[in-house]
Amino acid sequence: MLILAIDTSAVASAALVSDDTLESLVGSFSTEDTRSHAEVLAPGIEALLAEAGLTGADVDAVVTGVGPGPFTGLRSGIVTARTLSFVWGKPLYGLMSLDAIALEVAESTDAAPEFIVATDARRKEVYWARYALSDGQLPRLLDGPHVGFAADLPELPVYGAGAGLYSDVVKAVPGFSSRQPEALSLGQFALARLAAGERLLDSTPLYLRESDAQVPGPRKRAL
Amino acid sequence: MNSPQHDRPLVLGIESSCDETGVGIVRGTQLLTNTVSSSMDEHVRFGGVIPEIASRAHLDAFVPTLREALAEAGVTLEDIDAIAVTSGPGLAGALMVGVCAAKALAVATGKPLYAINHLVAHVGVGLLQTDGGGPQAFAANALPANALPENLGALLVSGGHTEILRIRNITADVELLGSTIDDAAGEAYDKVARLLGLGYPGGPAIDKLARTGNAKAIRFPRGLSQPKYMGTADQPGPHRYDWSFSGLKTAVARCVEQFEARGETVPVADIAAAFQEAVVDIITSKAVLACRENGITELLLGGGVAANSRLRQLTEQRCNAAGIRLTVPPLALCTDNGAMVAALGAQLVMAGIAPSGIGFAPDSSMPVTTVSA
Ligand SMILES: [Zn+2]
């Protein structure tokens, strides 16, 4: 099974993963910055396919990170995934973006049995979720995702860029303190969960915050 | 392998710069479909377009609107010769959805992609033959090169913009003669409608009520009409062809409060009529002035406020008096839509202009001098 995975909840990234390949990696890319998704994503995907000598017809499913993440960036990946899935006529699945880091934690040497993944939610807040790990199993989501202040997180080791930003108030795990969700881990997680017969999400974005719109109050006096 | 049909290319256009998700399909200058999904209802309780709500709606509306447009036109994505998308100007987050969707479409189909200027697309719509094979707006005295008449101007009035353009060549030479320096005209309508308790969108509500009011009962100021802004034809002032509506909005608020302070009933219909007269008077007088002083003899009226009965009436009257031929496309093509984007895209293909590729960034303040990125 060949999956094209996309995540734009923080950085822009895409990956081709397959259960026929070693480490399941066919190709991947990710950007450094979090603000140029519209420019880099489509060219990146086009290059991924070209370098692998593949076309949409070879892809069996499209997977997109559904956040949480800053809205505009998040939508760029989801609308890309929805459009590719529609044109290619291939199934589309969603995965919570923090799962990408959770899988990397599970595969690392300093994994805690219970832990938090946190990313930058801007406005002095983090997006976070709580996971449990048992030997040889995929990480299991216990709680979340939520958005809130880092100081209010449960007292557990915290992995991801959200921990690095607030290492003064949380137990940030050093090797992960600038880690962002990326499509490669997300795609690998999707592959593993599909192989285990688990159901994935649909592509509905997890905004976690309202649109900030205010219903106008009574008219202000102009005099 | 098929060679691209440069004479009558099949172009799919995508629009998401404000609160309409539009997908239109044209073949050359023939309109095949104009499918629009609007999030207008979701903005009603806020009294204006909320960018984040519009962006969320674009994300969910895009694929269904695309599917519907293809079905309605009876074509497949394989048949399409090129894709066009609004790249700016507009709301940044809203543009992003359409641009990313268009790029994904280009990657998945391998079709060329054009990043298009929204304002110029409003003019491009004048080139379409509308359904039923009706007359093409500019058929009478069109230039063979780009099918548009010589000496063409466009007056665009909507909730997002108020501009007067000069178009020498729709694919290569467009000039901004004047524009609003603060609110768009449609925005002023929304704000005043809220002041008067008339609901959203403000344009239709004020237009309807104004018919029962006396426009001469009150005189509201015409923004940027003083000599220091206007100057003369030889020595134009800093805002000769520009508009400003924020002072007008304040004047209306002050007027309402004065009635209230005196304990009198607010003459809502008269205020609506006088406000509308002030807006329409200054828009049309400056637009016609710009036309006369720039040798423009053909004017296209576009944008959602083209639906306003008084604006159409006064524009027609003043254009006639000045010897300017006025064209108003059907209303469904005046409001934001994908067909206008496809129409301009088709012109670019026919002119042999190179596509934009998929590396461009949307530009929320794209200038009209950039017809395509
Ligand atoms: Zn418009």
**pLDDT reported for residue A221:** 54
Contacts of A41 in chain B (CB under 8 A): 100, 103
A205: exposed, middle or buried (Cβ count in 10 Å: 0-12, 13-18, 19+): buried
Indicate the pLDDT class of residue B150, thresholds 50, 70 and 90. Answer: confident
CA of B248 to the centre of ligand 1 (A): 22
CA of B122 to the centre of ligand 1 (A): 7
Indicate the pLDDT class of residue B148, thresholds 50, 70 and 90. Answer: confident
What token pair was written down for B330? 């059907």
Residue of A37, A75, A223 lying closest to B257 (CB–CB): A223
**pLDDT reported for residue B167:** 94
Under an 8 A CB cutoff, do B362 and A80 touch? no
How far CA A210 is from CA of A71, A206, B305, in Å, comes to 10, 11, 31
Residues B90-120 pLDDT 10s:
999 999 999 999 999 999 999 999 999 999 9
Spatial CA neighbour of A5 closest among A129, A128, A90: A90
B171: exposed, middle or buried (Cβ count in 10 Å: 0-12, 13-18, 19+): buried
Under an 8 A CB cutoff, do B97 and A221 touch? no
Residues B71-87 pLDDT 10s:
999 999 999 999 999 99
Residues A64-117 pLDDT 10s:
999 999 999 999 999 999 999 999 999 999 999 999 999 999 999 878 899 999
- For residue B225, is pLDDT > 50? yes
What token pair was written down for B291? 């036309």
**pLDDT reported for residue B130:** 59
Range B263-267 average pLDDT: 95
**pLDDT reported for residue A219:** 57
Helices (H), ranges, B236-308: 246-261, 268-293
Q: Which residues contact A78 (CB under 8 A, 6 or more apart)?
A: A8, A64, A66, A94, A203, A205, B59
CA of B117 to the centre of ligand 1 (A): 10
Distance, in Å, from the CA atom of A48 to the CA atom of A26, rounded to the nearest integer, reads 9
- For residue A179, is pLDDT > 70? yes
- For residue A36, is pLDDT > 80? yes
Residue of B47, B52, B250 lying closest to A212 (CB–CB): B52
CA of A88 to the centre of ligand 1 (A): 31
**pLDDT reported for residue B141:** 45
Spatial CA neighbour of B154 closest among B364, B365, B368: B368
B373 touches chain A (CB under 8 A): no
**pLDDT reported for residue B6:** 67
- For residue B139, is pLDDT > 60? no
3-state helix, strand, coil in chain A (%, to 5): 35, 25, 40
What type of residue is B22? Answer: G
Q: Peptide bond before A154: cis, by omega within 30 degrees of 0?
A: no
- Starting at the earlier edge strand, list the strands of the sheet with B30-38: B30-38, B20-27, B10-15, B82-88, B113-117
- For residue B135, is pLDDT > 90? no
Within 10 angstroms of residue B173's Cβ, the number of other Cβ atoms is 12
Query: What residues pair up with B300 in beta bridges, in sequence order?
Result: B154, B327
Under an 8 A CB cutoff, do A80 and B99 touch? no
**pLDDT reported for residue A176:** 95
CA of B340 to the centre of ligand 1 (A): 10
CA of B304 to the centre of ligand 1 (A): 7
Distance, in Å, from the CA atom of B81 to the CA atom of B34, rounded to the nearest integer, reads 17
**What's the whole-number average pLDDT of chain B?**
91
Range B290-309 average pLDDT: 93
Residues A78-87 pLDDT 10s:
999 999 999 9
B217 touches chain A (CB under 8 A): no
CA of B284 to the centre of ligand 1 (A): 18
**pLDDT reported for residue B5:** 52
Spatial CA neighbour of A176 closest among A64, A100, A68: A100
Interface residues of chain A, partner chain B, Cβ below 8 Å: 36-39, 41-43, 45-46, 49, 56, 71-72, 75-84, 86-88, 205, 207, 211-216, 219, 221-223
Distance, in Å, from the CA atom of B162 to the CA atom of B185, rounded to the nearest integer, reads 6
Counting every residue written for chain B, the total comes to: 373
Residues B10-53 pLDDT 10s:
999 999 999 999 999 999 999 999 999 988 888 888 888 899 99
Q: How far is A204 from chain B (nearest CA, A)?
A: 9
What token pair was written down for B369? 């001098």
Residues A118-174 pLDDT 10s:
999 999 999 999 999 988 789 999 999 999 999 999 999 999 999 999 999 999 999
- Per mean pLDDT, which range of B63-67, B274-278, B290-294, B301-305 is the poorest? B301-305
Spatial CA neighbour of A128 closest among A94, A100, A162, A105: A162
- Per mean pLDDT, which range of A15-19, A94-98, B143-147 is the poorest? B143-147
Range B203-216 average pLDDT: 95
CB burial of A25-57 (b: ≥16 within 10 Å; e: otherwise) equals ebbbbbbeebeebbbbbbebbbebbeeeebebe
Largest Cα span, chain A:
73
A166: exposed, middle or buried (Cβ count in 10 Å: 0-12, 13-18, 19+): buried
**pLDDT reported for residue B133:** 43
Contacts of A87 in chain B (CB under 8 A): 77, 104-105, 108-109
- For residue B186, is pLDDT > 50? yes
Reported pTM = 0.93
Within 10 angstroms of residue B142's Cβ, the number of other Cβ atoms is 17
What type of residue is B50? Answer: I
B211 touches chain A (CB under 8 A): no
**pLDDT reported for residue B144:** 43
**What's the whole-number average pLDDT of chain A?**
93
Distance, in Å, from the CA atom of A99 to the CA atom of A67, rounded to the nearest integer, reads 10
**pLDDT reported for residue B1:** 37
Under an 8 A CB cutoff, do B195 and A37 touch? no
What token pair was written down for B294? 């720039």
In B, minimum Cα distance to A35 occurs at B361
Indicate the pLDDT class of residue B2, thresholds 50, 70 and 90. Answer: very low
Distance, in Å, from the CA atom of B273 to the CA atom of B206, rounded to the nearest integer, reads 8
A151: exposed, middle or buried (Cβ count in 10 Å: 0-12, 13-18, 19+): exposed
**pLDDT reported for residue B132:** 46
Residue A128 near residue A115, CB atoms below 8 Å? no
Percent of chain B at pLDDT > 90 equals 83
Distance, in Å, from the CA atom of A30 to the CA atom of A25, rounded to the nearest integer, reads 14
Distance, in Å, from the CA atom of B206 to the CA atom of B186, rounded to the nearest integer, reads 11
Within 10 angstroms of residue A103's Cβ, the number of other Cβ atoms is 24
Distance, in Å, from the CA atom of B185 to the CA atom of B205, rounded to the nearest integer, reads 14
